[in-house]
Structure 1
Amino acid sequence: MSRDSSEERVGAPKCTFEVYRSEGDTLFLKKKYDSAILCYTKALEIREKDLHCLLRRSCCYSSIGEIDKALEDSDAALNTSPDNHRGLLQKAEVLYNRGEFEYALMFFHRGHQKRPELHAFRIGIQKCEEAVKNSLHLTKGLQITEEGSEKFKAQINEQPQKRPTVKTTPKSEKDRVSDDIPLHILSPAKSKAFFGYLYEDHEYLEKLVHQEDELCPEWNNCVNGSKGSRTALRSNRRISIKKWRTACSDEVKQIAKNGLNYLDARSQFWHQEKPIYARRKARPGKKMEKSREKEPTATEQSINICQVLETLREIDQYQRHQQHDLAIKAAETLRQQVSQWTDAFCPNRLEVLANVNSMLGLSYLEMDRLEEALDAHEQAYALGHRCDLPEIVSHAVDNIGRVHAKKGEYQEAINIWKKKLGDTNNNDYELIWLNYEIGRCHLEMEQSHEALKYGLKALDLSTQIGDEAWQLNINVLIGQANLQLENRSEALEAFRSAHELAQTLSAEDAERAIMQVIDEFEETEFGADTDSLTQDEMLFRRSPALPLQLHFQRTKSRTDEYDSKVY
């Protein structure tokens, strides 16, 4: 199946959440909102409360004018994560588009308190305050009297060239009286600004609607004449009228009316999104001068790139010293800075963003901010796919699985890692890590046979390459799986092997924990309680030569490759 065929991908019954989400992001960037909505809907069927998909689908609905649906998705996102600044911004924008400026202002203020450095909240507060002020003071001096109303009606009747209101549904007499006066009578200049590039299409459809009801000039002139003159004119013009009107005239008229209604609705929506008074005339000369002023020189580009590299190294050092709060702060600032760049300024900016998101996700994971970690790693995954960066994609898959495992979603983690396990590009260490993590997830789900199966695979691979640190961890996993299966002798043998390896590696914490289990074996008849191993698993993983630190080093090593690859 082609990756570019969105219809086929959306219709596919068995795709992972990441595939649907990545496809939706791609379609969203291409402004194919209807197709993007289908992809995000499929992704949300797999994971109902995914924050990113809810917010992106809300943006899509807002872009096509489905404000109520956009509001539902933004509310669902805020229910999932009430303090998320992206959710607050999206709901504020939806409420603004809906015309509820006071409520929108409230959410813009909430978001500004959470993230005061973001320009979007300041701009939102400004435009909401302006909209509220305009709605309060725009009609302050208007007073409509009965005499003025009658005079206005007369002026409208005397100007047939003005656009009449297109009505598609029958109305009562009460409704018709209120519709006699249009809400806005726009001059041609303002009408062009209101409809934009659709102005000519709107004018054409209006002429087409009224053309079907009009007859020749002679008929209009003698409508009030004698019956004989009307009969003569009807007989003279019968042939030409028959040629002019067709059997499809009524159908064409109805289609044109539908088109007018659609254009009116869309133009009102975009007028609310960007009012006429806020639209500025394009000035090519000044715009070109401004763009030339913004174009950085080669020296400025080099300085900015050096600053980015220095920031990446600082984030790396923070992570190495377990200062993840500082790493998150630096990475968020850098991500915001790089997001404002253009392709002309830095052709590889998306690669930089992918790496920053990957490092940010690692620190979020260590701080147990799991939703934010998942969002960062999935953004890294999407950017890696878009830029064809297999290493970024590989690490993103690893870390997405880690987040799910830490959240207790073991089956989701297994599905993600099994998909990567079939990749022929994995090296020995990646295969060992994947088998070990899949086995541990099965062990947490009390699927002992599967845990033992993947543990033995990992042990065989680690033995082939002679990695004793991995053998230590895997032997503990095999021992725990055998205990669940009540294979006492095999479990004791695995723990003794792990104890010997811990002595060899001088992993004192691991050695003490394993020895405690072996002592319980020797003192009891029915088996040992391995809860201490589960509780002290962090002792194994903190050992200098153990696998999770190995994975962490593989992730961090990408920082050192920026000089040769990114720039």
Structure 2
Amino acid sequence: MPRKKSKVDPFEEMETNIKLLCDQSHNHMKVREYGRALTGYNQALELNAIDINALVSRSKCYLLLGDPSKALKDAETALAEDKNNIRAIYQKAEALYFLGQFEQSLMFFHQGLRTRPELSSFRLGVQKTQEAIENTIGKSSARNMAATRNEFSTKYKVLKKSQINTSKLSNVEMERRNARKLLGELCVDKEYLENLLKHPDLVRADTSTESISTYAKEAVDFLKKRQEFWRQQRPCTALPNYKDTPQEPLPVWF
């Protein structure tokens, strides 16, 4: 009786064909037949557009053909599938280097070096990228110095203007700023109580508001004493922590 043919798994068949195409393209790469190699990688990716091995290999092929933009796109597609794929990281670093994006290239070379410190390709990548950055800075040093001088001049003018505006502040405003530095969060309470004492109902001091007015005055006096105490103990620029300083008896209602 004739043997029954075993069913072939379509996925396994596709994987086998992709591997065969990639192996053939690898051989073309070895003898520098990059055009034929690219054709093989394209055919493999037609079968599976997210095959990481084919994407990384085609990225390398694009670099050798002088097309770093397409090489970068394939490397990023591979990293989208596996962000830790070491070959894809290297290809992205290389593509960025040939695109002149040295700072980003250096970042990915360092990432690969941290992951696989034994690989000399990443150490060499870091070295050549650092040299490229240094050479670029050297060529544009005069331009950068001029830009730095202009930036410093602008910031100096802004600072001077700010200092002039500060010097024109009224004594009341300066006193308020010092109070905020000395009292911290309590300054908000002090200002609220001082405004409260100016309220018309409290100014009349009738029987219904007399106790409120008394309590408010006690609290304001207490906070003023605290402010003066902190002023003597430390500079106004220091922001005190009222919990850590000696305390006078609080008003009854506080």
Please report the TM-score for the alignment, with normalisation by the length of structure 1: 0.22
Tell which has more relative contact order, 1 or 2 (C-alpha 8 A, sep 6+): 2
Q: Kindly name which structure, 1 or 2, has the bigger radius of gyration based on alpha carbons.
A: 2
Please report the TM-score for the alignment, with normalisation by the length of structure 2: 0.48
